[in-house]
Copies of this chain bind each other. A is one copy, B any other.
Amino acid sequence: MKVTVLGSSSALPTSQRYPSAHVLTAHGRMFLIDCGEGTQMQLRKCSIRFGRINDIFISHLHGDHVFGLYGLLSTFNLMGRTNPIRLHAPANYDLLLRSHLSDFDIHLNFEIVFVPLQGNDPAIVYEDKHLTVVAFPLKHRIQAYGFVFREKPADRNIIKEKIEEYSIPSYRIPGIKKGQDFVNDEGMVIKNDEITVPPPQPLSYAYCSDTMYFARLSSFVKGVDLLYHEATFDGSMEKLARKVMHSTTLDAAKTALKANAGTLMIGHFSARYDDVTSLVEEARTIFPSTIPAIDGNTYNVKELSTGKQP
């Protein structure tokens, strides 16, 4: 699991920071999360192949999270895409998007499979062999959703030498990988943990933007290895943060602490901060394992899982 930050600005981009967009790479798939203006140019700068993106998640319908989508879809089209795109977005976006594309003379040669985000409870919105994605409500000026990507536990790994030692037939291996003991022809039981080793811990990544602080949020992202949480403002601007329903560094850190996250990545920085070092330092007073989101950087989730308490 790797996360590439394409944009770490809030609504007002700067010369160093683009509007919100992340790419999660996991098990050969790429998931685009939010699509602020300039996302397609950032994808190119990061040498990410457009064709590998099959799922796009839009957190909410504010421009800095979605205004790059029209250009990106149009570019998919010009590049000859025919594979469908699954678009996970607030329910009312389906109609808006289609009418906007038609207003601009864009006729797609691929299907958009729209997966509506709705309701006030966490819900599985995507699932494959390796991953589940749950969307959960955030607390913002308009309906907004966060996303948590969790790897499914993998099978146990069989120890090669033991196959020979106990003459384990190959048809028994799938069951053993699922945790079964092995009983040989003489009726001898070999315990599973003698012939297998546990798989790597499943990894997880959550994306929370935009939102103000609310207590229940930490339960939605419990134990994630990497928690991306917006921190538009520093702690002294709490009053403004509440008013516009955004978070401070301290809000983000409190949620990371309560959730027992591995690492907290803060982003969605207000344009008033040229340098975000002080924001990171402030968050670290509550949650030491905090890093800033930096445009164009790629982060290895396994390496960032270390802050998590066992």
The interface of chain A, by Cβ under 8 A from chain B, is 11-15, 18-19, 37-38, 40-41, 44-45, 61-64, 66-68, 70-71, 74-75, 78-79, 96, 100, 103-106, 141-142
Jot down 5 A-B pairs with beta carbons below 8 A, ordered by A: A12-B75, A12-B79, A18-B41, A63-B71, A63-B104
What's the minimum C-beta distance from A2 to chain B, rounded to whole angstroms?
20
Interface of chain A: mostly helix, strand, loop or mixed? loop
Q: Is the CB of B13 within 8 A of A44?
A: yes
B78 touches A71 (CB 8 A): no
Contact A105 B141 (CB under 8 A): yes
A41-B15 contact given A100-B100, A105-B141, A105-B142, CB 8 Å threshold: yes
CA distance A44 to B12 in the complex (A): 11
Residues of B within 8 A of A13 (CB): 40-41, 44, 71, 75
Contacts of A96 in B (CB 8 A): 103
Given contacts A37-B41, A38-B38, A67-B71, 7 further A-B contacts (CB under 8 A): A12-B78, A61-B104, A62-B104, A63-B71, A63-B74, A64-B74, A105-B141
Residue from B61, B64, B71, B105 within 8 A of A37 (CB atoms): B71
* Given A13-B40, A37-B40; A19-B71 close (CB under 8 Å): yes
CB distance from A233 to the nearest CB of B (A): 14
Q: Give the complex CA separation of A96 and B68 in angstroms.
A: 18
Residue numbers in B under 8 Å from A71 (CB-CB): 13, 19, 37, 63-64, 67
Q: Are B63 and A106 in contact (CB under 8 A)?
A: yes
Closest partner residue, chain B, to A60 (CB atom): B105
User: Within the assembled complex, what's the spacing in Å between the Cα atoms of A61 and B105?
Assistant: 8
* Selected contact of A14 from candidates B37, B44, B64, CB within 8 Å: B44
Q: Is the CB of A15 within 8 A of B79?
A: no
In the assembled complex, which residues on chain B have CB atoms less than 8 Å from the CB atom of A142? Answer: 105
Chain B residues contacting A62 (CB-CB under 8 Å) are 104-105
In the complex, residue of chain B having the shortest beta-carbon distance to the beta carbon of A17: B41
A67 partner residues in chain B, CB cutoff 8 A: 37, 67, 70-71, 104
